[in-house]
Structure 1
Amino acid sequence: MMRSWLKNIRSSKGLTQLEVAEKVRIERSYYTMIENGDRKPSVEVAQRIAKVLDFEWTIFFENKCNETLLKI
């Protein structure tokens, strides 16, 4: 399931997937898989992504992500 909320946050910050990946210190392909919902990040990576994009990292681990929690 695509994490459209993550893409929306990233886009609202004016960042590309590559820019986020570089700031988080992961490969762009891995970040893309996370954003597309193909991979779940480790706690450490989730925390780094959340710090770069300024949101609560635990959203990655909720059973059903409520996109209304993350209004842009």
Structure 2
Amino acid sequence: MANVENKSTDSRREKALKIMVKDSDKLNSLIIMNGFSKTDFAKEIKISQPTATQITNGERNPSPRTAKRICEVLECEWTELFEIIKYPQISTPGS
């Protein structure tokens, strides 16, 4: 009976996909090598300076659009800087 209960719980689980910085040191090095200060970089990718700092320090996950802009501005491949990770998430009834 326990297996049936676990399966019903598992059926309500969904995977939330998040983008994560692979290596914040590499990201920060690329920012410097491209001649940006953190403030100038934030302006260039059109986000606030505190948000840019959180992303570049690995404290915050970028949105897909922000990750794409970062790669465009730094002229690098998306997979060099980011990875997609899955977080288990239990859906609530009615969602």
Same fold (TM over 0.5): yes
2:54 alignment counterpart? 33
Higher helix share: 1
1:15 alignment counterpart? 36
2:83 alignment counterpart? 61
1:2, CA displacement in angstroms?
6.2
Where has structure 1 moved over 4 Å in runs of 4 or more? none
Higher strand share: 2
Gaps of 5+ in 1: 64-72
For 1:61, what is the secondary structure of its paired residue? strand
- Please give the alpha-carbon distance, in whole angstroms, between the structure 1 residues aligned to 2:67 and 2:39: 16
Q: Deviations over 1:23-72 (max 9, x none)?
A: 11100100000010001101110000110111112331256xxxxxxxxx
Report which of the two structures shows the higher radius of gyration computed on alpha carbons: 2
Structure 1-normalised TM-score? 0.77
Cα pair 1:2 1:36 within 8 Å, conserved: no
Specify the code of the residue in structure 2 equivalent to 1:27: S
Structure 2-normalised TM-score? 0.60
1:22, CA displacement in angstroms?
0.4
Gaps of 5+ in 2: 1-21, 86-95
